[in-house]
Structure 1
Amino acid sequence: MQACQVEQLLADYGTEIYRYCRRLAGFGPDGEDLYQQTFLRLLEADLEPDEGRSPRALLYSVATGLWRNESRKRSRRAAIARPVELDGDDPPPLAGGEEPEAEALKAAENRALAAAVERLPDKYRAAVLLAYGAELPLEEVARIEKLPKGTVKSRLHKARLLLKKEMEARGYGREEL
């Protein structure tokens, strides 16, 4: 792909792909690196969008592939030398007696849900971010993930169940009797 084409894709889809990369790889430097690598790969590999297929789907596909490769590298390295994890990243549970204002409650719920999505296994997280975060149709998600449409549906269903379970464990979504 020529530099002018990549520049046009960057102008058209840059913000959207940036958000996706940061959510997929994390909100730190890993997400930013993934974003940069996505557009570099387009220049280096001479990739072109298929006829009748959105260039947006190509960008998501490249970003997802790069992220998967990096995840595999990390898991191999972690098997050799276990990383030390620090606690305290989880949002605090809701206070039982006090009822915060509706906006603050919604914001806390959104943060807890975003954190829960980040803790999903990789295969579920990618499907959720593509289908719900990027609002891509199932057919596009299936093409990007290189999976049958039924598998994508299954992963989305399983991810919703996992998210529901975690959110309920944190006190969200339960109806008080």
Structure 2
Amino acid sequence: MGSQPTDIELVKRTRAGDFDAFAALYLRYARSIFRVIYAMTQDRAAAEDLLQETFFRVYRNLDRIDESVDSLQPWLYRIAINLTNNWLTRTPKTSPLDKVSEWFQRHIHVSPDHIIERDERVRAVQDAIAKLDEKHRIVVVLYYLQELPLEEIAGILNLPVGTVKSRLYHARRQLKDHLQADQRISVPQTALSAS
């Protein structure tokens, strides 16, 4: 059989005692889930632990998986995001998001008269992202880092698409406001338009 087994086929095989099937499921999603967790925590050890905890929870709940779904990805992301949010709540230090900040950095047009060292600009963007509350930060991570479509983000977060759009809009507005107030960076009025 040349085609890849579906997520549900792997779940069924795991339930029957085929642990290689669970390993295949892990390999299918571990990298992308790790990226989201790491982007939120900026702590590699914590991200690795949270990734393991995510799949431990999946394994513990194999019997509860709805066999009518096409993909486990939204459910896996929800578990990972919930675990990560719990970790962030317990951990006072939350670091900024490097890759997301790089995206915003590329879209900030710093005038030649006000060029600031790159690391100062990056820190300013990272600080602005770090100031976002979790509900806005996670949509920024999923949209800009994971490059997921709004509909998929809505499924992962169990929200209407309109709510995701609204949170993304407000996140961009907040980032723009934070960056305009930051003395380390010059942000033109047209940059980061929230339209």
In the superposition, the TM-score normalised over structure 1's length comes to: 0.69
- In structure 2, the CA distance between the partners of 1:68 and 1:57, relative to structure 1 (3 Å rule), is same
- In the alignment, structure 1 residue 174 sits paired with structure 2 residue 182: no
- In the alignment, structure 1 residue 132 sits paired with structure 2 residue 144: yes
Tell me the alpha carbon deviations over residues 42-98 of structure 1, each in whole angstroms, 9 at most, x when there is no partner: 1112154754543332321210122234455x39xxxxxxx6x7xxxxxxxx9x988
- For 2:161, the aligned partner's letter is K
**Structure 1 unmatched runs, 5+:** 76-82, 86-93
Aligned-CA RMSD value: 3.2
**Matched position secondary structure for 2:185:** coil
**Matched position secondary structure for 1:39:** helix
Q: After the TM superposition, which segments of 4 or more aligned residues of structure 1 sit over 4 Å from their partners?
A: 96-100
Aligned pair partner of 1:27 in 36, 43, 47: 43
- In structure 2, the CA distance between the partners of 1:173 and 1:36, relative to structure 1 (3 Å rule), is farther
In structure 2, what is the equivalent of residue 113 of structure 1? 125
In structure 1, what is the equivalent of residue 23 of structure 2? 7
**Structure 1 residue 148 displacement after superposition:** 1.4
Aligned pair partner of 1:43 in 59, 67, 71: 59
**Structure 1 residue 28 displacement after superposition:** 4.7
Tell me the alpha carbon deviations over residues 121-173 of structure 1, each in whole angstroms, 9 at most, x when there is no partner: 01111111112211111111112111111111111111111111122223435
In structure 2, what is the equivalent of residue 57 of structure 1? 74
Rounded Cα–Cα distance in structure 1 between residues aligned with 2:79 and 2:21 = 16
- In structure 2, the CA distance between the partners of 1:30 and 1:97, relative to structure 1 (3 Å rule), is same
Count of paired positions? 154
Rounded Cα–Cα distance in structure 2 between residues aligned with 1:149 and 1:98 = 38
Once the two structures are superposed, the pairs formed by residues 139-154 of structure 1 within 5 Å of their partners are 139-154=151-166
Are the aligned partners of 1:168 and 1:174 in contact in 2 as well (CA < 8 Å)?
yes
In structure 2, what is the equivalent of residue 88 of structure 1? none
In the superposition, the TM-score normalised over structure 2's length comes to: 0.64
Rounded Cα–Cα distance in structure 2 between residues aligned with 1:53 and 1:109 = 42
**Structure 2 unmatched runs, 5+:** 1-10, 94-109, 190-195
